[in-house]
Structure 1
Amino acid sequence: MQEVSVSQHIPPKAVSAVGSVRLKDPSKADFCYDRYYCSSYSWGEKFPACHPVNGIHHSPINLDGNMTRNKSLEEIHLIGFDKAPPGQWKLRNTGYSVVLDLGSNLAVHGGGLPGTYRTVQLHFHWGDSTMNGSEHTVNGRRYPMEMHIVSIKSIYQNLTEAMHDPSGLAVLGVFIDVGDLDNENFTVISNLVPSVAYKGKSVAMKPFPLLNLLPAQNMSRFYRYHGSLTTPPCSQIVMWTVYEVPIYVSQQQIDAFAAGIYYSEEGANKTLLQRNFRHIHETFTREVYASRDATLVSILAVASPCSTVDLVLLALPLLISCLP
């Protein structure tokens, strides 16, 4: 494996711009997820680039049968992911997600990515007790959670520079599904979640091999497309890699996020942070690629756009005609 230097440090300001948001009073929030005045459907009012008419590279998207096999997309090289780096990492509640800052010892390259990227942080998206919370969907299916590992192209000193490059960021998306048992590798994070229950809280943690949080036996199976940040300012600068195979954690570990994280500060009115995912966007003319080893999603399996209510309404005329 080619050795890649990742010694350059990314300023904290650049990292936080990707993985945090400054939420103040909920009624005056820059953005949110579940209130009409700041939900993802209204982000475009304060952040013009978030409006779906501004560009065709918005994220997330639904991954379906309209994708193309690209045999040149082989497994991404993950530099430093197989060992615990020195120093400390920081887990924090930004008011919109739980973020793990990863320092400056990790990088990704290859696998069709246009360059080497320094890995700076990861964060999570989840739902609540009644709804799954992944950002991307597969044939309309939403997984319980999704983890994003964020990297900045190494030729840039900070995020501000990378924002001018359509491929300035590379994000690895990992679906998280429910299994029968606790995931021991995930426990190092889920056990610390209560320590960052409130916005602004943070806790230092001992680094571990980041590969432990990935579908290690299925790393060559992924989908690739050009998209955007899924939070404001919604910049369309992301090379997305979404792994086909999820990792599995227990329901209790998912509940640590969905029922234990608040977007409010300690001492304020307790308001759970839930359903922190952006709505699905059209792919338009974009190519969505399946890697050499990924499973092509069947077009026949695409979920019907009709809801149960729609189907009932459509059936009413037939039912009425059958009445005596």
Structure 2
Amino acid sequence: MRPELINLGTRLPAKTRNNGHSPKFETDYNVIGLRGVPFSHQDLYFFKELHPHIGNTFQSGSEHSVDGNFKPMEIHMVFWNSNYRDIVHAKSKPRGLAVIGVNVEVGDPADDIYVEEQEKYNPLPPQHIYNKCTCTNDFFYGHVCRQLGLCRCSSDKDCPFGGKCRSLGRVPYCGKPHTCRVRYAHKFSQLAEKYFPLIEFPEKHASHRGEMRYLQVPEGVTPEDALPYDGGFYTYRGSLTTPPCFETVQWIMMRCPIKVSRAAYHALAMMRDVRGNFLSRDGVKRPIQRGLPGFPPIQVYRNFLWETTGKEVPFYDVSEIQKNNVY
């Protein structure tokens, strides 16, 4: 699976507002496209908006987790299926939406390194008899190590030194954690620092404060503002995470996080929700969704092999769009 982002480098005229759940940057121009969405029959999706989410604690602000590990924030890039008239009609229809999600770290304005974390909520107790070693990523030694079962494991808790329990081959083994570069999202940080204080209150709390329903963003916006260096992702069929929560979304959750400035995080935390409270008071994060009892479990797929992580594969960018209604 290799989605194609079309006209990714184009900055689209945009506007911003606070809808009481999160602030969003929105465009009315159908220029940036997404093709190759998993299970979408090569439908063309158009970029509509970009918005962040935050939780009630710094440690668990993202809506998605990887192995039970959350990040302070999460950014969503929303695309709608061009088979429908517009996003209003698409959001309630089958395969109507595709959302690219990126977990977000907070820190200094520079690139960083993300180290894969051990699973946090695995209920299995450690089997100390397996705590012997961690197989290297070297092809020859690692292969021999795995075949001999020297580093057997049943969960990450069996692996010393922060190792990860891998399932490649006949016997699960403790392997070294993988890493990826963390891109500092300079442009998104700038937009958040500039505009979030101007749209602090949602519409029903803003009328007597002179705030506008929409605020124009002449700098424009593009999904490139929030994409990581690496194009590896998880994907599953799910729902919107704010009302009306239509189950029409193909989620594309990026494996590697990005990073924003502390000022951008603080500006988001100080925004108000539909009740006039700070977004950081309650957050908008739901509990981990594990499916309903008695129904098939949620199937999560990925487009990368653990053995190739660290070799960055960016989203494929196409310079022209195959649609007539372009900007």
Same fold, TM exceeding 0.5? yes
**What is the distance in 2 between the residues matched to 1:158 and 1:211?**
22
Letter in 2 for 1:83: T
2:259 match: secondary structure: strand
Q: 1:95: Cα distance to partner?
A: 0.9
1:291–1:203 Cα change, 3 Å? same
Question: What residue in structure 2 maps to residue 83 of structure 1?
Answer: 10
Is 1:83–1:210's contact at 8 Å kept on the other side of the alignment? no
Q: Which residue is equivalent to 1:211?
A: 224
> For the residues of structure 1 that align with 2:39 and 2:202, how far apart are their CA atoms?
34
The answer to whether structure 1 residue 277 and structure 2 residue 285 are counterparts is yes
Structure showing the higher strand proportion among its residues: 2
Secondary structure, in 3 states, of the residue corresponding to 1:253?
helix
Aligned equivalents of 2:265, 2:49: Cα separation in 1: 20
- d(CA) in 2 for partners of 1:167 and 1:141? 28
Aligned to 2:300: 288
Aligned partners of 2:78 and 2:100 also within 8 Å: yes
Greater radius of gyration (CA): 2
Across the aligned residues of Structure 1 and Structure 2, the Cα RMSD in angstroms comes to 2.4
Secondary structure of 2:198's counterpart equals: helix
Give the equivalent residue in structure 2 for 1:227. 238
Fraction of identical pairs, as percent: 30
Which ranges of structure 2 fall in alignment gaps of 5 or more residues?
111-184, 204-210, 310-327
TM-score (norm 2): 0.60
C-alpha distance in 2 between matches for 1:118 and 1:106? 6
Distance 1:210 1:279, change over 3 A: same
Q: Counterparts of 1:147-186 in structure 2 under 5 Å?
A: 147-163=75-91, 165-181=93-109, 183-186=185-188
1:261 aligned partner: 271
Q: Distance in 2 between matches of 1:97 and 1:131?
A: 19
C-alpha separation between the residues in 1 aligned to 2:307 and 2:245?
29
SS in structure 2 at match of 1:245: coil
State the number of aligned residues.
215
Q: Are the structure 2 counterparts of residues 292 and 129 from structure 1 closer, same or farther at C-alpha, using a change threshold of 3 Å?
A: closer
Change (3 A) 1:118 1:140: same
The match for 2:35 is 109
Which runs of 5 or more structure 1 residues have no equivalent in the other structure?
Answer: 1-72, 298-324
Give the conservation status (yes or no) of the 8 Å contact 2:74–2:101: yes
How far is 1:233 from its partner? 2.0
CA contact (8 A) 1:223 1:294 kept: no
Instruction: Return the match for 2:71 from 134, 143, 165.
Output: 143
Cα 1:153–1:294, aligned 2, differ >3 Å: closer, same or farther? farther
Give a deviation string over 1:187-237, Cα, whole Å, max 9, x none: 12322110101112432112144313211x212x00110111111222111
Q: 1:196 to 1:161 in 2, by over 3 A?
A: closer
* Structure 2 counterpart of 1:197, from 197, 200, 225: 200
